[in-house]
């Protein structure tokens, strides 16, 4: 049945949309705007210190997160779904950042941050905080989504 997958998609997206009440949408949009600020702060540093090509990923991230924040505030289903996936993936950022801080920030990440004029430990610590907050927001989304789906049917 070729059209079964989209039907399953909407079964998830509709309760997900209802789980995103205004305070949660504002929180998620605010988190994305913090990402815009971080990327927007880093883009000129990268441009000035290492060239325009190094700044492009930061510019793209800032633009993408700004669009995503606006779409989340408008309760766009796709934006809410993408946000949920991105928030859930932040647990990997927590694990990676914690590991780097425990074992020391070395290699290309440390070199990149040094070139930008940012202390590597500070950069990774900020990433850890951002990812931890995003992971906590993911738990909030997941809790509301599961509650919106109702009791499990057996």
pTM for the complete prediction? 0.83
Q: Is 83 within the bounds of a domain?
A: yes
For 89-106, the pLDDT digits (tens) are 999 999 999 999 999 888
Provide the terminal-to-terminal Cα distance of the chain, rounded to the nearest Å: 25
Q: Is 12 within the bounds of a domain?
A: no
Domain with 50, as residue range(s), is 24-149
pLDDT score at 29: 98
Q: Is 32 within the bounds of a domain?
A: yes
Low-confidence ranges of the chain (pLDDT < 50): 1, 3-4, 7, 9-10, 154
**How many separate domains does the chain show?**
1
Q: Is 4 within the bounds of a domain?
A: no
pLDDT score at 143: 93
Q: Is 69 within the bounds of a domain?
A: yes
């Amino acid at each position: 049945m070729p059209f079964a997958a989209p039907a399953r998609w909407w079964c998830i997206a509709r309760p997900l949309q209802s789980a995103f009440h205004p305070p949660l949408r504002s929180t998620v949009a605010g988190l994305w705007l913090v990402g815009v600020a971080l990327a927007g702060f880093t883009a000129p540093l990268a441009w000035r210190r290492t060239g325009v090509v190094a700044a492009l990923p930061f510019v793209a991230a800032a633009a993408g997160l700004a669009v995503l924040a606006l779409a989340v505030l408008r309760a766009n289903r796709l934006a809410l779904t993408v946000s949920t996936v991105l928030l859930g993936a932040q647990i990997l950022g927590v694990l990676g950042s914690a590991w780097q801080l425990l074992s020391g920030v070395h290699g290309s990440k440390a070199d990149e941050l040094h070139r930008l004029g940012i202390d590597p430990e500070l950069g990774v610590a900020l990433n850890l905080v951002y990812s931890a907050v995003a992971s906590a927001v993911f738990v909030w989304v997941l809790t509301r989504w599961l509650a919106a789906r109702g009791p499990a049917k057996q």
